[in-house]
Amino acid sequence: MLEFLGETIAYFTGDDERAYEVDHLGRTNPQQDWGKCTIYRDRKQVAAFTITAPTLTPARSPNDIPASPEELLLLAQDALIENGVTVQLTHRL
């Protein structure tokens, strides 16, 4: 079983009917940079991305999710494409 290094901050479903999770490494692990995220599918890492400073909202505290759900969806989608995973994501409730 894979142990996540950070905290899952978003869940998406792909048009392949698989679940995707965005894990924010910097949220609970002080050794990671704030804004570093990984994407897991079937508990395996398939992509990673970093939320850049312009995306961060200045009023957010370190315990807040570093981007809006819409921003996370777009960043995750781009990271997956860059890693050869062609899937369309939608928010998972």
Give residue 51's pLDDT band: very low, low, confident or very high (50, 70, 90). confident
pLDDT tens-digit profile of 2-35? 334 458 888 888 888 899 999 887 666 666 667 7
What is the pLDDT, as a whole number, of residue 81?
Answer: 92
Q: What's the whole-model pTM score?
A: 0.74
Q: Which residue has the higher pLDDT, 33 or 55?
A: 33
Q: What is the overall mean pLDDT for the chain?
A: 76
Distances (CA, A) of 44 to 30, 39, 48, 79: 22, 8, 12, 15
What does DSSP assign to residue 66? S
Please give the average per-residue pLDDT across 53-65, as a whole number.
Answer: 53
Contacts of 86 (CB under 8 A, 6+ apart): 80
